[in-house]
Structure 1
Amino acid sequence: MTKLFLILHILAVIIAIGPVAIAASMFPPVARKVLASPGNVGATATLGLLNRISRVYALVGLAVPFFGFAAAGVMKVTGQTWVIVSIVLTGLAAVLLAALVLPRQTELLKGEGAGGRELGVKDTKQLAMFTGIFNLLWAAVTIIMIVRPGSTLGH
């Protein structure tokens, strides 16, 4: 059962988090193209596609902690520091994605910010920063999962 949950957890990470990380990272430069030439239908369509990929795969990404908790439970490691730190970082990444990345993508896609304010390059740079932090959080979780500092698994 341990191997099954680990396999499902890792597959969920690859299948869900990879596309979110890539699509979200591609979004700001494409948004800058749209802002520079609003009539660019191709760039606008690409922006919509990247937003849809980010949203759909963010929902699919809910499988990552589900299978992660299942694997940790079967392995009896849920109380270990490396697992707790990974859970906290995963939670931070999820909050960042849900509260800052996806809503800002939607604003840029619609062409206006909160209160009808006009959007500019500064907004795309902020989005790029939040996306970068999201990606760094996942990189940290990946490293922790491999190195497992303080693990009692004997590896």
Structure 2
Amino acid sequence: MSAFLLSVHVLAAILTIGPVAIAASMFPRFARLALASPDDPRKAAVARILHRVTRVYSVIAVLVPVFGLATAASIGVLGDAWLIASMILTAIAAVLLIAFILPRQSRLVRALDPDAADPAQPSLDRIPGSLSMVTGIFNVVWAIVVVLMIYRPGSTTGVGL
């Protein structure tokens, strides 16, 4: 059963967190291009699609920690420091995504809608840059989680650096 849970956990991570990381990373560039070319609907469409991918796959990505915890429980490592660190980092990544990345993407997507343009809206020029920074931190956090999952400090499996 542990092998099945681990397989689902790894597949869910690859198929959900990977697209979120890529789409979120690409979004600021295309949002910046769309803001610079308001007459080109294709650039705005790309930004909208990247936001949708980030949003939809983020919801599905809840499966990753669910199956991760089930796997950890089945192999008896819930109290291991590397797993606790991974859970804390996963929570940090979730907060970055929910509190910073998705709201800023939503704000930019709304600004790209020609029917909803608000002339009193403050400048949006700085949002793509700050969004790039937060997304970079989000991706580094996930890279650290992946390293912890593979390296597993203190593991007795013989797998390690």
> By the TM > 0.5 criterion, same fold?
yes
Q: In structure 2, what is the equivalent of residue 71 of structure 1?
A: 71
Whole-angstrom CA distance in 1 between matches of 2:21 and 2:35 = 22
1:87 Cα deviation (Å)?
A: 0.3
1:36-47 equivalence runs, <5 A: 36-47=36-47
- 1:24–1:51 contact (8 Å) kept in structure 2: yes
Offset of residue 39 of structure 1: 1.5
Rounded Cα–Cα distance in structure 2 between residues aligned with 1:21 and 1:137: 11
What one-letter code is carried by the residue in structure 2 that aligns with 1:88? I
The offset of 1:152, in angstroms, is 4.1
1:136 maps to a residue whose letter is V
1:61 maps to amino acid: A
Residue 97 (structure 2) pairs with residue 97 (structure 1):
yes
Alpha-carbon shift at residue 154 of structure 1 (Å): 4.7
Structure 2 stretches lacking a partner, 5+ long: 113-119
1:76-110 CA-partner distances (Å, limit 9, x unpaired): 00000000000000000011000000000000111
2:63 is aligned with 1:59: no
The alpha-carbon deviation at position 151 of structure 1 amounts to: 2.6
Distance 2:132 2:151 in 1: 28
**1:28-64 C-alpha deviation (Å, 9 max, x unpaired):** 0001111111121001111110010000000010000
Corresponding position of 1:124: 128
Q: Distance in 2 between matches of 1:61 and 1:68?
A: 11
- 2:126 match: secondary structure: helix
The equivalent of 2:117 in structure 1 is none
2:148 matches 1:141: no
Counterpart residue identity of residue 13, structure 1:
A
Superposition RMSD on alpha carbons, in Å? 1.3
State the partner residue of 2:115.
Answer: none
Partners of 1:99 and 1:152 in 2: CA distance: 37
Question: Which residue is equivalent to 1:106?
Answer: 106
What's the counterpart of residue 26 of structure 2? Answer: 26
In percent, how many aligned pairs have the same letter?
47
Q: Separation in 1 of the partners of 2:74 and 2:123?
A: 48
Q: Which amino acid in 2 is paired with 1:135?
A: N
Q: State the AA in 2 paired with 1:47.
A: A
What is the TM-score normalised by the length of structure 1? 0.94
Residue 57 of structure 1 aligns with an amino acid whose one-letter code is Y
Question: Which amino acid is the alignment partner of residue 23 of structure 1?
Answer: A
Q: What is the letter of the counterpart of residue 78 of structure 1?
A: L
- The answer for the alignment partner of 2:154 in structure 1 is 150
CA distance in 2, matches of 1:145, 1:83: 8
